[in-house]
Amino acid sequence: MVFHVLTLFPEMIEGCMQTSITGRAIEKGLLTLDVRNIRDYTLDKHGKVDDYTYGGGAGMLMQAQPVYDAWNSIPGKGIRTIYLTPQGRTFDQKMAADFASEEELIFLCGHYEGIDERVLEETVTDYVSIGDYVLTGGELPAMVMMDTISRLLPGVLHNDDSADTESFQNGLLEYPQYSRPEEWHGKKVPAILLSGDHKKVDEWRLEQSEKRTQERRPDLYEAYMEQKRLYEEQHPPKRRKK
Ligand code: 6GU
């Protein structure tokens, strides 16, 4: 996977992405990070990339020319271009899985009051938000997306299992987990986890996931129960022959 990032703050992206699991994925060559500073593409001799908005109003807008030339400098055609904006569709795990199937992605990070509409019309394929609150720029949302997408790529996580057993992959939150010691602050690890009975452990974990989802995310639980109901309707239990 190649992540191209267009930003006015390349050091923010590089520092973060070179750390921890994404950093190791880059070292292993599973991930390539190509960060381009939009300011390097301005034709303005003072390095200016923003200007006042027509029609008045507060704040500055990123101009079309430097953004377009930065975007155009990326080789290749038809690469999905994501503009990070609170006006976009809300990012979720399903969207992450869809983006993870691409070979390259372009993230366009805006700052100030945004970017001139005309260049967005010519470059952007996907408008994405990470939630209903307003940030100062698109860099943190781009990194949230890249982090989420990275861990779905083959080989990025040590254990290929863990990407799909975790929260959301089956529509449920993850079950509680325990490591050594067996007793801490007077609290014991649930006995079933020490039993060595894998079937019992799996049943216990599913039960815990369902309980936790019902308590903490009733919205997800409702959707999960509806899915389960539909499944059971289409796969009725087979009658035993007399
Ligand atoms: Cl993608 N950008 C900005 N500036 N603020 C946001 C956002 C994006 N998603 C939520 N808030």
Measured in angstroms, how far is the CA atom of residue 184 from the centroid of ligand 1? 41
Which residue, judged by its Cα, is nearest atom 2 of ligand 1? Answer: 85
Same domain, 40 and 102: yes
- pLDDT tens sequence for the chain (242 residues): 999 999 999 999 999 999 999 999 999 999 999 999 999 999 999 999 999 999 999 899 999 999 999 999 999 999 999 999 999 999 999 999 999 999 999 999 998 789 999 999 999 999 999 999 999 999 999 999 999 999 999 999 986 656 665 677 689 999 999 999 999 999 999 999 999 999 999 999 999 999 999 999 999 999 999 999 999 999 988 877 66
Same domain, 20 and 77: yes
E-only strand ranges, 97-171: 104-108, 126-129
d(CA 178, CA 227): 29
CB 140 within 8 Å of CB 38: no
CB 39 within 8 Å of CB 64: no
Q: Which residues line ligand 1 (CB under 6 A)?
A: 84-86, 129-131, 133-135, 137-138, 141
* Best residue among 127, 135, 143, 145 to mutate for probing ligand 1, ranked by most atoms within 8 Å of CB: 135
Residue type, 145: M
**Which one-letter DSSP state was computed for residue 125?**
S
The verdict on residue 159 lying in a domain is no
**pLDDT given at position 112:** 74
The verdict on residue 158 lying in a domain is no
Half-sphere exposure of 32 (CA within 13 A, CB side): 8
Q: Any idea which residue has 């070179």 for tokens?
A: 18
CATH number for position 213: 1.10.1270.20
Q: Is 146 helix (H, G, I), strand (E, B) or coil?
A: helix
Same domain, 41 and 9: yes
**pLDDT given at position 242:** 61
Same domain, 84 and 45: yes
Same domain, 124 and 227: no
Domain boundary among 119, 150, 181: 150
CATH number for position 54: 3.40.1280.10
Give the chain's domain count. Answer: 2
Same domain, 32 and 146: yes
* Best residue among 6, 115, 134 to mutate for probing ligand 1, ranked by most atoms within 8 Å of CB: 134
Q: Any idea which residue has 């863990």 for tokens?
A: 162
Which residue, judged by its Cα, is nearest atom 3 of ligand 1? Answer: 135
User: Is the CA virtual torsion 37, 43, 48, 54 positive or negative?
Assistant: negative
Digit-coded pLDDT (tens) for 178-198: 999 999 999 999 999 999 999
**pLDDT given at position 130:** 98
Domain boundary among 150, 176, 198: 150
Same domain, 109 and 205: no
Non-local CB neighbours of 92 within 8 Å, separated by 6+ positions = 168
The verdict on residue 210 lying in a domain is yes
**pLDDT given at position 146:** 98
**pLDDT given at position 123:** 98
What is the enclosing helix (H) or strand (E) of 25? Answer: helix 20-27
Same domain, 10 and 91: yes
The verdict on residue 25 lying in a domain is yes
Measured CA to CA in angstroms, residue 224 lies from 98, 130, 161 at distances of 20, 22, 21
User: Ligand 1: which atom is nearest the Cα of residue 135?
Assistant: 5
The verdict on residue 162 lying in a domain is no
The verdict on residue 51 lying in a domain is yes
Task: Indicate the length of the chain as a whole number.
Answer: 242
Domain that holds residue 184: 167-234
